[in-house]
Amino acid sequence: MEVVTIVGTRPEFTKAYLVSQSLKKKKIEEYVIHTGQHYDNKLSRDIFNDVGFREPDINLNIGSGTHGWQTGKMLIGLEKILIENKPDAVIVYGDTNSALAGALTAAKLNIPVLHIEAGARSFNKEMPEEINRIIVDHLATINCCATKRNLLQLNKEGISIGAIFTGDVMLDLIENFKDRVLMPRLVFPKSFFLATIHRAENTDSNERLSEIFSWLGKIGDRVVFPIHPRTKEKLKRFKIKLPENIILISPVSYREMLWLEMHAQKIITDSGGVQKEAYWLGVPCLTFRRETEWTETLKGEWNQLITSEEHLQKGLKIKPKGKPDVALFGNGKAVQKVVAEVIKLVK
């Protein structure tokens, strides 16, 4: 056994795809554990199938629950497998509960952890993702940073050994799939905005979620909204009435999402990944949050943080200046650099 990759949510499946392919080419044995954090076919199996990510070797089928319960169940399940398999290294991605559980289990067993997308910070500890990132970065043996600013942040926190700038594996991925995007099978208005909202801080209170949908209702264009199960459930629970311009659709695959992003007038989101994709594709983005981990995208007003309706009306009129500086996220060779680090850990 050489490397164990731990994934559990939609963005982790896509991020892991190219790294996994590259490990295979380098003849490094990889064992993939799916925690089961995302279990809906639309967020899990369909994403695997769409990008062509290999079947996981095991699915722990943990599912949803409170953060403590979900993470605790993962720790128990992962510990057993890591003890049995004794890998040389464990790879985790980003800031999810699956990444936290993976890093913590491995660190306690003295197995080196390689963290991809390290050093990102929103400086808002009310977000579960921020807590996860901080802990994972401080446990990891190798921290692969998507930007130089992320690396600097780790250095400020006293992490310099094993911290490197690799660039963003999501940028490699978009380069790989840009010419293979898929138009979703829907009837599209000529002009539309694309919206995705799923973070706890935006969906968990009736007041906030109602406010978001009332803002979306005032956009003055149709809004295509692939809805995350979490947001769908809250909409129903809070009995929020949808404005007429919103076209709710089921979650789409990665390649369909790229098509939607490329054809949208503007993108509205609270997802970290979607903000970056909008920037790399040169589509203006409005982020419904108070802060962003990806401050690089704010340059030239390609991305704007929207915290009030007034802000939104202003933001809708802004035309970004210059071109997005894609090189801030590396040169599309992040996967190669990450895998070179994995090789050092397993040899």
The CB-of-48 to ligand UD1 minimum distance in angstroms stands at 13
Residue 122, CA distances (Å) to 119, 171, 238, 343 in order: 10, 20, 28, 31
Range in contact with ligand UD1 (rule: CB under 6 A) among 94-102, 170-178, 204-212, 274-282: 94-102
| 197-256 residues near ligand UD1, rule: CB under 6 A | 198, 228-230, 233
Distance CA 251, CA 52 (A): 18
AA letter at 13: F
Measuring CA to CA, how many Å separate 166 from each of 64, 73, 138, 278, 315? Answer: 32, 32, 18, 21, 32
Give the residue with the Cβ less far from ligand UD1, 65 or 220: 65
| Among 20, 22, 35, 96, interactor with ligand UD1 by CB under 6 A | 96
User: 5, 9, 153, 202: which one contacts ligand UD1 (CB under 6 A)?
Assistant: 9
- What gap in Å lies between CA 182 and CA 257, rounded to an integer? 8
- Verify whether residue 198 is a known catalytic residue: yes
Catalytic residue among 198, 228, 263, 311: 198
Interface map 172-201 toward ligand UD1 (x if CB under 6 A): --------------------------x---
Which tokens hold the place of 202? 């935006």
Q: Note the residue count of the chain.
A: 347
Pairing label, strands 89-93, 58-59: unpaired
Residue (228 or 289) nearer to ligand UD1, CB: 228
Contact 137, 76 (CB under 8 A): no
* Nearest distance, CB of residue 152 and ligand UD1, angstroms: 23
Distance in angstroms (rounded) separating the CA atoms of residues 144 and 124 = 22
Q: Which is nearer to ligand UD1, 69 or 325 (CB)?
A: 69
Say whether residue 126 binds ligand UD1 (CB under 6 A): no
Q: Is 40 in the site for ligand UD1 (CB under 6 A)?
A: yes
Q: Number of residues in contact with ligand UD1, rule: CB under 6 A?
A: 20
Q: Could you tell me whether strands 89-93 and 3-7 are parallel, antiparallel, or unpaired per DSSP bridges? A: parallel
Task: Tell me if 227 sits within 8 A of 209, measured CB to CB.
Answer: no
Distance between first and last Cα of the chain: 12
* Rounded-to-integer distance, Cα 117 and Cα 133, Å: 9
Q: Which is nearer to ligand UD1, 52 or 68 (CB)?
A: 68
φ/ψ of residue 270, rounded to 5: -125, 10
Q: What would the x/- binding string for ligand UD1 be over residues 49 to 88, using CB under 6 A?
A: ---------------x------------------------
* Selected binder of ligand UD1 within 2, 129, 130, 172 (CB under 6 A): 129
**Token code pair at residue 131:** 């807590």
Among 15, 34, 38, 121, binds ligand UD1 (CB under 6 A): 38
Contacts to ligand UD1 by CB under 6 A: 9-11, 37-40, 43, 64, 95-97, 128-129, 198, 228-230, 233, 271
| Catalytic site positions | 198
